[in-house]
Structure 1
Amino acid sequence: MKLFLSFFALFCSFMLTNGAISDNHQNSFGTKKEAKDLLERAVNLIKVDEVVGLTMMTVKSGGFIYKDLYPFCLDENGILVSHPYNLGSSIKEFTDIDGIEVGKIVMKTAKEGKISQISYKLGRYSLGKSESPDEYLEKPTIKKSVFYTRVGNYICMSGYYEN
């Protein structure tokens, strides 16, 4: 029965993003709606099976990387437990160039069942140029907004760059 529920939740999570996936593919950068859809899809999957959800968000073939968007999760210590590029890194002390303590704010304000949003400045990643994110981080920094929520023992996030 659990296997059936896992597959059913996976199927439903893919169907929820049907609108995001069928949108304009000519734009290589994700939108606000697409980022939020990815977060909701990730949350739904984690609620059914944490291991499968975290793994699918981490592996690049897991179906969660879309344009320049991807969801990721951290544990209660701020360590990234799912991320396609920075797995194992800590965001606890992450502060943007304007001094916004993004990591601390997210960890303090994330609530189960409520999607919140925070904005900060960061360089945009250009997918496909390198395996190491720092090697393809574009300058200058631009505004990035991230949706986040608590799911059990995790905080999951998905963000987009504002143009």
Structure 2
Amino acid sequence: MFRKLVIGALGAMAALFSTTAFAQGTAADAKAMLGKTVAAIKAEKAKTLDQINKGENGFLVGDLYPFCFNLSDGLLVAVGNPNVKGLLGKDARTFKDPTGDVYGPRLYDAAKEGQVNEVSYMSPKAGADKTWVPKASFVTAVAGLGCGVGYYK
């Protein structure tokens, strides 16, 4: 009896974690994570950027993650998506997708203090699958950074 309970509990936990780990975030989830990102940057900017880059402290949940770039020079300083770590240090204004759409300037221009703006583009999905899919990101400005969190459509 005890063994069945333990096996059942472990199975339920595995199902919970597998759906949570790979769950697709919604627009509301993305807005909530952006709010968390902004608050954390205001409190401890350097620590938060490090946590975003490591996907720690809730800055990588399923396929949701924040990204931040400097408003001064456009350089990407933090990104939670492990599939695009190679973009760190690159000018976000130059980002383009495989179709040739240069979406970086739209992300950069959307970063306005006190506003949350939405930008649509294609992006590689977080996780093992590196397929480019439609995405929309909510973007704002905080502490000299443009930060966003997107959701896959």
TM-score when normalising by structure 2: 0.74
Residue deviations 1:45-73, cap 9 Å, x none? 11122112212211133321101110111
- The residue aligned with 1:79 is 75
Structure 2, unmatched stretches of 5+, are 1-18
Change (3 A) 1:116 1:59: same
Structure 1, unmatched stretches of 5+, are 1-23, 130-135
**What does residue range 105-144 of structure 1 map to in structure 2 within 5 Å?**
105-125=106-126, 127=127, 129=128, 136-138=129-131, 141-144=132-135
- The residue aligned with 1:156 is 147
Cα deviation for residue 98 of structure 1 reads: 4.9
> Is 1:104 aligned to 2:113, yes or no?
no
- The residue aligned with 1:36 is 31
Change (3 A) 1:78 1:36: same
Aligned-partner Cα distance in 2 for 1:53–1:109: 21
More helix by share: 2
Aligned-partner Cα distance in 1 for 2:36–2:106: 23
TM-score when normalising by structure 1: 0.70
Change (3 A) 1:56 1:118: same
User: What fraction of aligned residue pairs are identical, expressed as a percent?
Assistant: 31
Aligned partner of 1:55 among 44, 50, 53:
50
Root-mean-square deviation (Å): 2.1
> Is 1:66 aligned to 2:61, yes or no?
yes
Cα deviation for residue 111 of structure 1 reads: 0.8
Aligned-partner Cα distance in 1 for 2:93–2:20: 34
